[in-house]
Structure 1
């Protein structure tokens, strides 16, 4: 047996423990055949609807299901998301029109053409992957990289969609709050008030459970080498900051709707009390008239 002195002289250098995937670089990924052979091509994300039934889209060749990705006729591809976003790569105007026409048959709710994102994809095998100004550089235009870019651009388009709606709801709430501040009553009709309150109550539900903005894409679990590219894209599009800001706006709208509901309830109960008092007074006057009139 070793003596205590010999045991003290033992030098043990533990192997560094690293979580798998956090330090794997993108260039370590196995090479995959590019789905788009061009060195540069456009990428566009749009909000085509509020909800899309992707399982009903069967007119195009499906190349992946998570996210749902189809091949277009003239060398382009498109990723379709159930929360209404569509991301097109190297798509012509005819291909885009045909895809949107098909989606319109299997979607619900109105989209917003003003809420979208555009970028130029550049294939640069010798440069670092990630956004550079209006361009996104990748080492290879394979399916996995384009799907990851589609995930980020779709979430950014969805956030733009919700931000525009939140701004519209704030525009509806401002005159109502001004009415209360000036004379303590609403100038709008009850139906308009209820519609405004309904829009505010739905505002918070639009974000929750739809896109999972802060959720990690499923394809990263099987392809951890793309984590670096996703982190750079996520930071460039400011998904976390925009989601937090939007959440605060939606919380404010929710509190405003609750205040409006309570105010409407107070006015309704006040009018009911006045009506009851008038009925009691009328009944009392009729009773006194009947008693002293004869």
Structure 2
């Protein structure tokens, strides 16, 4: 892909979220063109950027080659997704135009690796957030009836295992978003290439990365609070039940003692 040979052309970028985690250190069968994030060449032309979040971003890769390359990656994907999230973006490569976002496409001056890394970072974060937004929506569907039951009847009606699973799901999403996805962080290439920061910020704003992250964090906090409150109520209810059991046992013991005393008193008379 050379701007001297093709002063003006279009290139398709396609991001796929394959699973929960992709370890680039195991991908030694591919020769790296750049690292952090890892960039490799794809057979028959094109490039792929591999991200720890489980996303791969392809540039200029034909559909048939995409299928072959993704099949190669499957062995390195942990917890593969049943439904693959994807995001497509059209790139216009033109050294004579101003670099930035234009309606349904992004204009780039050239296709140097650093620029592809910036594009891949944003697209990888976008597909990760899309998958997490779907998971959070499902979590809300499960937690909402429990909250409504608490509002209407003043009590919950769920088991501790279900509530703990909800809290665990919320924590897992947060860990993937902040840890592996590094959604709130700039890519390392920006620190080395400050001239690409404007492109990065424009893309970040276009895909509303920060806004989506904040919205997700608020929803996750609400799920945690709701599940935690219901769990506390459930534990309190169990504690009260245990206390009543103890009271009943004490009453029974007193009654048996009184009966025993009364029985022996009658025998002695």
TM norm. shorter chain > 0.5: yes
Q: Using a 3 Å threshold, how does the CA distance of structure 1 residues 104 and 289 change in structure 2: closer, same or farther?
A: farther
Pick which of 235-244 and 191-200 moved more.
191-200
Query: Hey, what's the Cα distance between the residues in 1 that align with 2:245 and 2:169?
Result: 31
CA distance in 1, matches of 2:64, 2:126: 25
Instruction: Show CA shifts across 1:99-151 (max 9, x none).
Output: 33333322322436453321111112221112222211112122221111111
Instruction: Indicate the SS of the match to 2:222.
Output: helix
Give yes or no for the alignment of 1:282 onto 2:252: yes
Mark the CA change 1:234 to 1:251 in structure 2 (over 3 Å): closer, same or farther: same
8 Å contact 2:163–2:227 — kept in the other structure? no
**Deviation readout 1:86-105 (Å, 9 max, x if unpaired):** 11112233333333333332
Aligned residues: 263
Larger helix share, 1 or 2:
2
Q: CA offsets per residue over residues 25-67 of structure 1, 9 Å max, x none?
A: xxxxxxx946x96822221112111111111012333211121
Unmatched segments (≥5 aa) in structure 2: 265-269
For 1:3, the equivalent position in structure 2 comes to: none
Pairwise CA RMSD: 2.5
Normalised by the size of structure 1, how large is the TM-score? 0.80
Q: Compute the TM-score of the two structures, normalised by the length of structure 2.
A: 0.87
Q: Secondary structure at the match of 1:171?
A: helix
Question: 2: CA distance between counterparts of 1:139 and 1:111?
Answer: 35
- Matched residues in 1 for 2:63 and 2:29: separation? 18
Q: Secondary structure at the match of 2:43?
A: coil
Contact residue 200 and residue 257 of structure 1 kept, 8 A: no
Q: Is the 8 A contact 2:100 2:107 kept in 1?
A: yes
